[in-house]
Chain A
Amino acid sequence: MFKILKRVSTRIFGSLFRKRENIKIGFYGPPNAGKTSLANKICKDWTGEEIGSVSAVPHETRNVQIKEKVEIKYKGKVMTFKLVDTPGIATRVDYENFLRFGLKKKVAKKRAKEATQGIIEAIKWLDDVDAVIVVLDATENPYSQVNITIIGNLVARKIPVLVVGNKIDLKKADVKKIEGAFPDYEVVGVSAKEGTNMDEFYESLFRLARRV
Chain B
Amino acid sequence: MEKKVTGKYKGLSLQVLPFSEVQDLTIAQRVKKILQLVLGNKIVILHGRLRPEEEARLIEDTMAMVDHVKGFKGIELAVIEPDLKNETFFVKLKHNIAKKLVGDNTALTVIGPATIVKEIKRDPKRLEVLLG
Interface residues of B (CB under 8 A from A): 51-53, 55-56, 59-60, 62-64, 66-67, 73-79, 114, 120-124
Contacts and interface: CB of A to CB of B under 8 A. Distances in A.
Contacts of A107: none
A90 B56 CA distance: 11
B59 A89 contact: yes
B59 A91 contact: yes
Nearest to B81: A148
23 contacts: A90-B74, A91-B76, A92-B76, A93-B63, A94-B114, A112-B66, A113-B67, A116-B67, A120-B64, A123-B56, A143-B122, A143-B124, A144-B122, A145-B55, A145-B77, A145-B79, A145-B122, A146-B59, A149-B52, A149-B55, A149-B77, A153-B56, A156-B52
A156 B74 contact: no
B74 A149 contact: no
Interface in A92-132: 92-94, 112-113, 116-117, 119-120, 123, 126
A155 interface: yes
A126 B78 CA distance: 21
B53 A153 contact: yes
Contact of B64 (A116, A126, A148, A152): A116
A89 B58 CA distance: 12
Contacts of A120: 60, 63-64
Interface in A128-145: 141, 143-145
B64 A123 contact: no
Q: Which 5 A-B pairs have the closest CB atoms?
A: A92-B74, A152-B52, A92-B114, A116-B63, A149-B55
Nearest to A94: B73
A126 B66 CA distance: 21
A199 to B, nearest CB: 32
A126 B114 CA distance: 25
